[in-house]
Amino acid sequence: MRKINGRIMTVMLFSAAILFLAAITISGSIFSDEAMITDFSRKNLAPSLQYLFGTDWLGRDMFIRTLTGLSMSIKIGLLAAFASSIIALALGIISATMGKTADAIVTWIIDLVMGIPHILLLILISYAFGKGFKGVVIGVALTHWTSLARVIRSEVLQLKEATYIKAAQKLGVSKFEIAWKHMFPHLFSQFLVGLILMFPHAILHEASITFLGFGLSPEQPAIGIILSESMKYLAMGRWWLAVFPGLLLVGTVILFDVAGESLRKLLDPSSAHK
């Protein structure tokens, strides 16, 4: 058999990443009730075959709790990243097509958002919306669009100057048709890759802000909450409370990154050359 070539590898990598993430999300949702079960007969157990990640001070199974937390973080990340990418798309297109003033305003807003450290801005926004779920989603959505907006802006500008678009205009092709047939396919791939690569950041920031106490309320088993609670027990040597949930979080983030990067490779025409 021939050696598996790069492109097949990339597709396999992409599918594996997506499958795994879907598995975490779905299993986390299924077990969400179980994650709350407290059982004092099994508290503070170190990891074993029965309790892979051990149990906490209330006897909750950390493995299930981690899954539920992650699945919640993924869902929030998806929602926020999606909202953020819509903002990016809208502002990117506005600044590229609606003239100089609009461009200047959008660029200025980008500078503004980039001027405040992400976490600080997240704290501010989450504070503005009364902390909790809404604050996190809006916060992440409002802070992550800047770089994608820049990409889309330059892409649209480039497309507008492209010879084949100019030729189509000269040939009298309608504006709508140019936008739909010639510009949209280019933009869409950029947009999709940008969206997927936004997930890991969104998830990380969701976890961070929740960890600091601005995100989800302590009753919810979000990954940030789990890790923030685990901090109190570190000094007592209950390392498993922090290590495993964190590792799984890192894994999730990497998987999203892998998925995004492999999709980029597949969609990028210049990667046709080996």
Partner 1 sequence: MENKKTILDIHNFSVSFEQYGSGFKKTTLPVIHNLDITVHQGEMVAIVGSSGSGKSLLAHGILGIQPYNATLGGEIIYNGEVLTEERKKALRGSEIVLVPQGTSYLDPLMKVGPQVLKGKNDKKLKERLDKIFKGYNLRDNVYNLYPFELSGGMNRRIMVSTAMMAQPKLVVADEPTPGLHMEMAKKVMSHFRELADNGAGVLVITHDLEQAIEVADRIVVFYAGTTLEDADVKDFEKEETLRHPYTKALWRAMPKNGFKFIDGIQPYVKAMPEGCVFGPRCPHFTEECKCAIPYKNVKDGRVRCIKAEEN
Partner 2 sequence: MILLIIAVSVASFVLISVSPIDPLQANIGQAALGSMSAEQIEKLQAYWGVGTPAYQRFFSWAADFFRGDMGISLLYRQPVADVIKVKLANSLYLMTIAWLISGIIGFIMGIIAGINKGRFIDKAIKGYSLLIASTPAFWLALVLLMVFAVWLQILPIGLSVPIGVEASGVTFADKIQHAILPAVTLSITGISNITLHTREKMIEIMESDYVLFSRARGESTYNIIKNHGIRNVMLPAITLQFGSISEIFGGSVLVEQIFSYPGLGQAAVTAGLGSDVPLLLGITVISAVFVFGGNLIANILYGIIDPRIRRGGKLS
Site residues for partner 2 per CB under 8 A: 108, 111-112, 114-120, 123-131, 200, 204, 207-208, 211-214, 227, 230-231, 234-235, 237, 239, 242-243, 246, 249-250, 253-254, 257
Q: Which of 1, 5, 115, 130 binds partner 1 (CB under 8 A)?
A: 5
Q: Is 270 in the site for partner 1 (CB under 8 A)?
A: no
The residue among 101 and 270 lying less far from partner 1, judged by its C-beta, is 270
Least Å from the CB of residue 90 to partner 2: 19
**Which CB atom, from 3 or from 100, has the smaller least distance to partner 1?**
3
CA angle (13, 14, 20) in 5-degree steps: 90
Give whichever of 26 and 112 is closer to partner 2, judged by the CB atom.
112
Q: Which is nearer to partner 2, 35 or 241 (CB)?
A: 241
SS3 state at 35 = helix
We find the least distance from the C-beta atom of residue 230 to partner 2, in angstroms, to be 7
Q: Are 69 and 31 in contact (CB under 8 A)?
A: no
Is the distance from CB of 119 to CB of 209 less than 8 angstroms? yes
User: Is the Cβ of residue 63 or residue 178 nearer to partner 2 in the bound state?
Assistant: 63
Instruction: Find, among 67, 59, 55, 60, the residue nearest to 20 by Cα.
Output: 67
Residue 8 contacts partner 1 per CB under 8 A: yes
| Residue closer to partner 2, measured from CB, 52 or 257 | 257
Min. distance of Cβ 271 from partner 1 in angstroms? 8
Dihedral of CA 204/208/209/210: which sign? Answer: positive
> What do you get for the CA distance between the two ends of the chain, in Å?
20
Position 175 contacts partner 1 (CB under 8 A): no
Record the tokens describing residue 54, joined without a space.
Answer: 């051990």
- 42 touching partner 1, by CB under 8 A: no
DSSP assignment string, 4-22 = PPHHHHHHHHHHHHHHHHH
Coil, strand or helix at 91: helix
| Residue whose tokens read 């889309």 | 152
Q: Which does 273 bind (CB under 5 to 8 A by kind): partner 1, partner 2, none?
A: partner 1
CB-count burial class (<10 Å; 0-12, 13-18, 19+) for 224: buried
Q: Looking only at residues 210 through 269 of this chain, which bind partner 1 when binding is defined by CB under 8 A?
A: none
Which residues sit at the interface with partner 1, rule CB under 8 A?
5, 7-8, 271-274
